[in-house]
Structures are given as structure tokens and as C-alpha cells.
């Protein structure tokens, strides 16, 4: 029924009135009912069913617009990582890994909450999931190499940073409709 | 910038401050004890990071 409840009620009334007239003509009266009587029956029955039909309900509201772009998310990833890296001034590899993981975790927790609440569009959430998932994997890989005794060179870190930036650039270019 | 974007930035900034405070506390504690951050402490943070990143990928990833 929903938003067309009254119209459906009127249709049902018309059908019901037609059946009533047919029953009367077939089983009750000897002569077919006068047109004025038929019109009166149809009018009364249709009006009654329309009156008793549930009220029309307004269209379901659209979900809140999810126009938040991925840009502030990426921006905040950079800011958070930089904040953890510079403000805390980590001096040892363990401190650096701890600060970086905590920064990525903070962004992941916030983005996850925003995605679950519907603030962010599905696309933005998918983009953020891809970037944060890769970032987490990269930090874990670096930690794994470090704890295994391998040294993560500055060149390795630059290659990793370039890969993440390239992915972010591709995602942003796709969102903006440009070439990646 | 839309109100949604501003709200999102404020939310993330608030989360960032909380995180920075937590990391500072962890580093201060280790420093007070005259030691470096232990591997276990790093692994614990890594575990939380992985858990939330996985949840994000699992629920919203392509």
C-alpha cells in the first residue's frame, strides 16, 4: 500500500461495488438495477473503502547524502603520521613502529566508525579500506623484517611511500574524473 | 568545505589527539623505566592496527 494506499483503496472499492452489483442483479432483483442505483452503490462503496484505507505515507526519505570525499581522509592520514612521527620524536625503531602503527590504527578506527554510521560514501570507504589495509600491511612487513634482523633501508621506505602515494593519486584522479 | 567534511576532520583530529596522548604515555612509561619500547608493546599496537584495518577491508573493501 504505502504511498498509494488511498488509490488502492478506491480501486478495491470499485471492484467490490462491481461484485455487489453483479450479485444483486444475479440473485436478488428480477430486473437489472437502474443505472442511477448502480452509480449510487459504486459511489458509496468506493467512497467507503477509500475512507477506510490507510493514509498515504510519504516516500521513504533518502539516506543522508554521502558526499564526503576521500581527500580529507588521505590528508588526515598524512597529518596523523607526521604528527606521530615529529611531535613524539621517536628515537628508536621500536618507537617509530609503535607511533606509525598507532597513527594508522587511529585513522582506521575513525574511518571504520564513520563508514558504519553511513557518513562516508561506499566508494570513499572502499578507497580508505584499500589504502589503510595496504599501509597496515606495509608497516607489518617492515616490522617483520626488522624483528627478523633485516634492516629496512631508506630506499625501501621511499619505494614503499612512492607506491602508497601512487595508489592514493590514482584513487583521487579517478574520483575527480581525471587520468590516473 | 561541507559541514560533513568539517565534522569528519574534527572527529579524526580528536582521535589523533587521543592517540598521540596514548603513545606519549607509552613512551614516557618506557623512558621512566629506563628502557626502550618492548617488542611486545609494539606487537600489541600492530595487532590492534591489523584488526581494525581488516575490519575495514572486510566490511567495505572492494
User: Tell me: the pLDDT tens digits for A137-168?
Assistant: 888 888 887 887 776 666 766 676 677 767 66
Instruction: Give yes or no for B29 touching A (CB within 8 A).
Output: no
If pLDDT is split at 50, 70 and 90, which confidence band does B59 have? Answer: very high
Yes or no, beta carbons of B49 and A101 under 8 Å apart:
yes
- At residue A80, the pLDDT reads 62
pLDDT of A84 > 60? The answer is no
Closest CA to A112 of A129, A100, A130, A135: A129
Residues in chain B within 8 Å Cβ distance of A101:
42, 45-46, 48-49
ipTM confidence = 0.81
Q: B35 to chain A, minimum CA–CA distance in Å?
A: 11
C-alpha grid cell for residue A10?
Answer: 478506491
Could you tell me if A38 and A25 are in contact, meaning their C-beta atoms sit under 8 angstroms apart? no
With beta carbons less than 8 A apart as the criterion, state whether A139 and B49 touch.
Answer: yes
pTM above 0.95, yes or no: no
Q: Is B55 in CB contact (< 8 Å) with chain A?
A: yes
**Chain A residues within 8 A of B39 when measuring between CB atoms:** 94, 147
Give alpha helix (H) positions in chain A.
5-23, 35-52, 71-86, 93-117, 122-147, 154-176
> B8-58, pLDDT tens digit by residue?
777 777 777 777 778 888 888 888 888 888 889 889 989 999 999 999 899
Tell me whether residues B4 and A119 touch, CB distance under 8 A: yes
A120 forms beta bridges with A68
Sign of CA dihedral A32, A37, A42, A44: negative
Count of alpha carbons within 13 Å of B37, Cβ hemisphere only? Answer: 21
Cα angle value A63/A68/A74 (rounded, 5°): 145
pLDDT-based confidence at A60, cuts 50/70/90?
low
Amino acid at each position: 500500500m504505502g504511498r498509494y494506499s488511498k488509490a488502492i483503496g478506491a480501486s478495491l472499492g470499485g471492484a467490490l461495488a462491481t461484485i455487489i452489483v453483479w450479485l444483486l442483479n444475479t440473485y436478488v432483483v428480477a430486473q437489472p438495477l437502474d443505472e442511477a442505483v448502480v452509480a449510487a452503490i459504486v459511489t458509496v462503496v468506493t467512497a467507503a473503502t477509500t475512507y477506510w484505507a490507510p493514509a498515504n505515507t510519504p516516500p521513504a526519505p533518502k539516506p543522508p547524502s554521502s558526499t564526503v570525499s576521500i581527500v580529507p581522509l588521505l590528508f588526515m592520514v598524512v597529518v596523523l603520521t607526521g604528527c606521530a612521527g615529529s611531535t613524539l620524536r621517536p628515537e628508536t625503531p621500536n618507537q617509530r613502529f609503535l607511533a606509525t602503527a598507532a597513527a594508522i590504527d587511529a585513522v582506521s578506527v575513525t574511518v571504520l566508525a564513520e563508514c558504519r554510521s553511513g557518513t562516508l560514501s561506499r566508494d570513499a570507504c572502499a578507497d580508505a579500506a584499500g589504502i589503510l589495509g595496504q599501509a597496515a600491511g606495509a608497516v607489518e612487513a617492515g616490522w617483520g623484517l626488522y624483528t627478523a634482523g633485516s634492516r629496512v633501508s631508506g630506499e625501501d621506505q621511499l619505494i614503499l611511500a612512492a607506491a602508497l602515494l601512487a595508489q592514493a593519486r590514482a584513487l583521487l584522479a579517478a574520483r575527480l574524473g581525471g587520468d590516473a | 568545505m561541507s559541514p560533513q567534511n568539517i565534522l569528519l576532520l574534527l572527529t579524526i583530529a580528536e582521535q589523533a589527539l587521543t592517540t598521540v596522548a596514548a603513545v606519549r604515555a607509552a613512551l614516557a612509561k618506557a623512558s621512566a623505566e629506563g628502557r626502550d619500547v618492548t617488542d611486545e608493546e609494539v606487537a600489541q599496537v600492530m595487532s590492534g592496527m591489523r584488526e581494525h584495518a581488516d575490519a575495514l577491508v572486510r566490511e567495505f573493501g572492494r
